A and B are shown apart, each in its own frame.
Chain A
Amino acid sequence: MTFAYDFSLQHLLGIEGLNRLDIEYLLDRANEFVENRTPEQSLKGKTLINLFFENSTRTQSSFDISAKRLGADVVNMSVQSSSVKKGETLVDTAMTLNAMQPDLLVIRHGSSGAVRLLSRKVDCAVVNAGDGTHEHPTQALLDALTIRRRKGRIEGLKVAICGDILHSRVARSNAMLLHLMGAEVRLVAPPTLMPSGTETWGAHSTHTNMIEGISGCDVVMMLRLQLERMHGLYLPSKREFFHLYGLDKEKLSHAAPDALIMHPGPMNRGVEIDSAITESANSTITEQVSMGVFVRMAVLDALARNLDRARAEASA
């Protein structure tokens, strides 16, 4: 166990802004949590608020469990029952919560940049649990941890990210992180769901042909398709999407033989992925969920340390 690198960030708002050492520090730390079943209670006496403006059972409970394993008191704010529904603005909500002096605030919001906006208005550490179509950094970290544990490395791997890239915060965060760690990132999407300028996120290449995109890849990462976006403007139908971009045995046979099959969940079986594949030995889909807890423990632990340090400096 080493703390040689000084991870100094106050918030985790995105992968953008992190450097390779930050990411390695968080992955190493998460790995320690994986190995060590009884972690120290580094968040004891600290309060974490889960503030989810978008419903998410898995991410919210993952943060909940992570924080509790480290001894934090967790408050889950349900937006449905809060004053946000009564017309209170986002910033007012943040100021109100801030006045209760929490230590950590985990936020998911449907608008890009919303979490950053809130981070400017509060004194505690803020974790972005997904903002609009912008970033979802803990998802990228848990994916990286899963890949690293399975493959022993990230550097030099070929990773294809497939599906609705345009609306995916998971794709953005993953592309940036994997590129930073030395992987070759390929993006696969129908032309209507492929944004411009993906090279600025570190994407090595873009493909509208899935077989071409995943050929020889060590990792095939599927994205959830928002079904409500299926009809009309972006795509003609579910079955045509599955025909062209759904991961099935035939398409998968073009990837490397031991290619990992990943999905951030929740899955639409038969839309972006064939059910049979999800249960194969190379599928890491449930393992990703397990790694999510450890990665979030690492993030919360690191931010809490920095918060303590900042408070000590402020009072000195």
Chain B
Amino acid sequence: MKQALINARILDPATGLDTVGGIIIEDGYISEFGPQVSAATAGTDLVTDCGGKAVAPGLIDMRVKTGEPGSEHRETLETASRSAVSGGITSMVIMPDTDPAIDTPALVDYLKRAGQSHKVLNRIYPAGALTVGLAGEGMTELSLMKDAGAVLFCNADKALTSANLIRRALQYGRGVGAKIMLRPDEPSLSTGSMNASAFAARLGLRGLPANAEWIGLERDLLLAEMTKSDIIVDQVTTGRSLDIANRHREAGNNVIVTAAAHSLFFNELDIGDGSHDPRKAYLTYCKVNPPFRAEEDRLALIEGLKNGSLNVIVSSHDPQPAEDKRLPFDEASFGAAGLETLLSALTTLVAEPHYELDLLTALAAVTCNPADALDLPLGRIAEGVEADLVVFDPETPWKCLRENLSSRSGNSPFDGRLLTGKTVRTMVKGKWVFGPENGN
């Protein structure tokens, strides 16, 4: 089957291509693209006119939680995928901290198969637990799980505390070609519910000090150096963390640094003290871990995205139902829904002229960079690549309202915010899964 997208602004972050033209897709694979492709030259009647809107590789989100298996009331693969494609995300890496944890080849296989259901609209890539039961004590079967389809190994939100275990996991993982992502944290310091700061002290909330992130990060990177291993850093939140990573890169370590989109968008003051609006105080939708930090850290992350020290942006989608969020701040759960706002958060930053953030640079952090980090043959517009695409308008303004989100849980810190840039259509493996044809 041959189809074509025409009249599109083609954006390929991997090559820096930004041109008006078309894309021809044959049997789900991109066969030709460029300015020469038009309705007249496409050679097919199956033509989608993009009306000048942007077309980019579908987004690859490296950090997504659903509730499947174990807490389906939060989210299922199906509801998450619906939410994801409405935000242009065509591939999701699913965190292993489900119930049970994804810590055996059989469970990886289960998740992989569950992701192939026709109701799941995008690609599901399981991440395997790095330690058995995520208990942080013994390594899982990295090689067998990798063969079963795990593209990444991590201990989800729980940082490992044994330096020796981290060392062995990195060493062993390198041997079997397993990608390892570590959460930079020192859990004994991280006992609070928001950034440790004067603002937290005034609100009477216990803090999560940035120092815990730096201690964890230094340790992990020193162990990566010791074992000559590549490492993926799971969500940094401060400028100093980027400096630490850069210092280790200079020493020859291959370090991939990720951050959550919401960390580039919010700072700790968004939790609110009610001084401007009495309804905006102790907002639990802004309770995430790692937490929103100071404004200077938020700006440093944007700067890091521009200068390449921050490589991958994730949604860190973590659906939490109302009963776990409508609680006093200390008692509420951590986590924010983020799939539908990942692309829009980035395009909103791009639309703010004072950040001087380039659209292709921002897109690279959610397309080719995560693809390269995980060795996935995706995230590019190139001949022979499967057609996972997003059509979006980088300038459409819209208001994010949680009741309109298609995630099963609406715990988005973007609730009520104005965003710039919206997904119009999403294609996975050459099929439209979101857009006018799908009733969206």
Closest to A10 in B: B278
Whether A2 sits at the interface, judged by CB under 8 Å, is no
Say yes or no: A111-B203 contact (C-beta < 8 A), given A89-B323, A116-B274, A197-B197: no
Among B203, B204, B274, point to the contact of A17 (Cβ < 8 A).
Answer: B274
A260 to B268, CA, bound (A): 39
Given contacts A134-B204, A196-B197, contact A89 B328 (CB under 8 A): no
- Given the complex, which residues of A lie within 8 Å of B197, measured CB to CB? 196-197
* Measured CA separation A16–B281 after assembly (Å): 12
- A135 neighbours in B (Cβ, 8 Å): 204
A132 touches B198 (CB 8 A): no
Taken residue by residue from 198 to 216, chain B's Cβ proximity to chain A (1 for < 8 Å, 0 otherwise) reads as: 1101111100000000000
Looking at the complex, which one of B199, B201, B278, B328 makes contact with A113 (CB distance below 8 Å)? B328
Q: Is A90 an interface position by the 8 A CB rule?
A: yes
Q: In this complex, what residue of A is CB-closest to B330?
A: A111
Over the window 1-38 of chain A, the binary record of Cβ atoms lying under 8 Å from chain B Cβ atoms (1 yes, 0 no) is 00000000000010011000000000000000000000
B203 contacts which chain A residues (CB < 8 A)?
112-113, 134
Q: In the docked arrangement, what's the CA distance between A166 and B204, Å?
A: 8
Per-residue interface assignment for chain B, residues 273 to 291, with 1 indicating a CB less than 8 Å from any chain A CB and 0 otherwise: 1110011011000000000
Whether, in the assembled complex, A200 has its beta carbon less than 8 Å from a beta carbon of chain B, the answer is yes
Counting chain A CB atoms within 10 Å of each CB, the highest count among B197, B279, B329 belongs to B329
Which residues of B are found within 8 Å of A201, using beta-carbon distances?
202
Complex Cα distance, B199 from A198, in Å, reads 9
- Residue in A closest to B331 when the chains form the complex, CB atoms: A111
- Cβ of A114 within 8 Å of any chain B Cβ, yes or no, is yes
Asked if B326 and A89 sit within 8 Å, CB to CB, the answer is yes
Q: List the A residue with the shortest CB-CB distance to B282.
A: A113
Interface residue B135 (Cβ < 8 Å from any Cβ of A): no
List A contacts of B329 (CB < 8 A). 111-113
- B401 in the interface, Cβ–Cβ < 8 Å? no
A245 and B374 CA atoms in complex are apart in Å by: 57
Decide: B330 and A117 in contact? CB cutoff 8 A: no
Question: Closest CB of chain B to A8's CB: distance in Å?
Answer: 13
Q: What is the chain A residue whose CB lies nearest that of B274?
A: A116
- Give the docked Cα–Cα distance between A83 and B273 (Å): 30
User: B198 is contacted by which of A112, A131, A133, A197 (Cβ under 8 Å)?
Assistant: A197
Q: How far is the CB of A278 from chain B (nearest CB, A)?
A: 28
B205 touches A112 (CB 8 A): yes
Interface string of A175-196 (1 = CB under 8 A from B): 0000000000000000000011
How far apart sit A65 and B279, CA to CA, in the bound complex (Å)? Answer: 31
Whether B201 and A116, one on each chain, are in contact in the complex, defined by CB atoms closer than 8 angstroms, is no
B163 at the interface (CB under 8 A from A): no
- A132 touching B275 by the CB < 8 A rule? no
* Beta-carbon contact of A196 and B201 below 8 Å: yes
Interface residues on B, range: 20 to 34
A243 to chain B, nearest CB (A): 27
Q: Is A224 an interface residue (CB 8 A)?
A: no
A134 to B274, CA, bound (A): 13
Q: Does B176 contact A (CB under 8 A)?
A: no
B204 touches A113 (CB 8 A): yes
Q: Is A108 an interface residue when CB atoms closer than 8 A count as contact?
A: no
Q: Mark B325-348, 1 if CB is under 8 A from A, else 0.
A: 011111100000000000000000
CA distance A125 to B265 in the complex (A): 35
Q: Nearest-CB distance from B17 to chain A (Å)? A: 48
Candidate in A89, A112, A120, A200 with the most chain B CB atoms within 10 angstroms: A112
Residues of A within 8 A of B328 (CB): 90, 109, 111-114, 117, 132
Contacts of A91 in B (CB 8 A): 326-327
Q: Are B199 and A197 in contact (CB under 8 A)?
A: yes
- Please indicate the chain B residues that have their CB under 8 angstroms from the CB of A112 in the complex: 203-205, 282, 328-330
Q: Which residues of B contact A263 (CB under 8 A)?
A: none
Chain B residues lying within 8 Å of A111, measured Cβ to Cβ, are 327-331
In the complex where A111-B328, A112-B282, A197-B197 touch, is A16 in contact with B275 (Cβ < 8 A)? yes
Interface flags for A91-110 (1: CB within 8 Å of B; 0: not) read 10000000000000000010
| Interface residue A169 (Cβ < 8 Å from any Cβ of B) | yes
Least distance between B332 CB and chain A CB atoms (Å):
9
Residue tally, chain A, CB below 8 Å to B: 29
Contact of A17 with B275 in the complex, beta carbons under 8 Å: yes
Q: How would residues 138 to 170 of chain A score, 1 for a CB under 8 Å from any chain B CB and 0 otherwise?
A: 000000000000000000000000000010010
In the complex, what distance in Å separates the CA atom of A112 from the CA atom of B329? 7
Choose among B279, B327, B328 the residue with the greatest number of A CB atoms under 10 Å from its CB.
B328
Cβ contacts under 8 Å, A131 to chain B: 204
- Contact, CB under 8 Å: B323 / A116: no
Q: Is the CB of B198 within 8 A of A196?
A: yes
A169-B202 in contact (CB<8A): no
For the complex, give the distance between the alpha carbons of A114 and B203 in Å. Answer: 11
Q: Could you tell me the distance in whole angstroms from the C-beta of A190 to the nearest C-beta in chain B?
A: 16
How far is it, in angstroms, between the C-alpha of A134 and the C-alpha of B201 when the chains are bound? 8
> Do residues B282 and A132 form an inter-chain contact, with CB atoms below 8 A?
no
Q: 8 Å CB contacts to A: which residues of B181-204?
A: 196-199, 201-204
CB contact between A120 and one of B199, B273, B279, B327 (< 8 Å): that residue = B279
Do A132 and B274 touch (CB < 8 A)? Answer: no
Chain B residue nearest to A133 (CB atoms) is B204
* Across-interface contacts of B198 in A (CB, < 8 A): 195-200
Q: How far is the CA of A171 from the CA of B256 in the complex (A)?
A: 45
A17 CB, nearest partner CB in chain B, Å: 7
B206 CB → nearest A CB, Å: 8
B327 near A132: Cβ-Cβ < 8 Å: no
Q: Is A69 positioned at the interface, with any CB of B under 8 Å from its CB?
A: no
Residues of B within 8 A of A172 (CB): 202, 204
A198→B274 contact, CB < 8 A: no
CA distance A195 to B204 in the complex (A): 10
Question: In the complex, what residues of B have CB within 8 A of residue A200's CB?
Answer: 198-199, 201-202
Report A108 CB to chain B, min CB distance, Å: 12
Residue on B with the closest CB to A195?
B201
Identify the closest chain B residue to A197 (Cβ): B198
Q: Which residues of A contact B278 (CB under 8 A)?
A: 120
Complex CA distance for A109 and B331, rounded to whole angstroms: 12
Contact of A132 with B330 at beta-carbon distance under 8 Å, contacts A16-B273, A113-B205 already known: yes
- Measured CA separation A196–B328 after assembly (Å): 22
Q: Which residues of chain A are near B331, meaning CB under 8 Å?
A: 111
* Across the A-B interface, the 6 shortest Cβ-Cβ residue pairs: A197-B198, A134-B204, A111-B328, A113-B282, A112-B204, A114-B328
Residue ranges of B at the interface with A (Cβ–Cβ < 8 Å): 196-199, 201-205, 273-275, 278-279, 281-282, 323, 326-331
Partner-B contacts on A (CB < 8 A): 13, 16-17, 89-91, 109, 111-114, 116-117, 120, 131-135, 166, 169, 172, 195-201
23 contacts between A and B (CB under 8 A): A16-B273, A89-B326, A109-B328, A111-B329, A111-B331, A112-B203, A112-B329, A113-B204, A117-B328, A120-B279, A132-B204, A133-B204, A135-B204, A166-B201, A195-B198, A195-B201, A197-B197, A197-B198, A197-B199, A197-B201, A198-B198, A198-B201, A199-B198
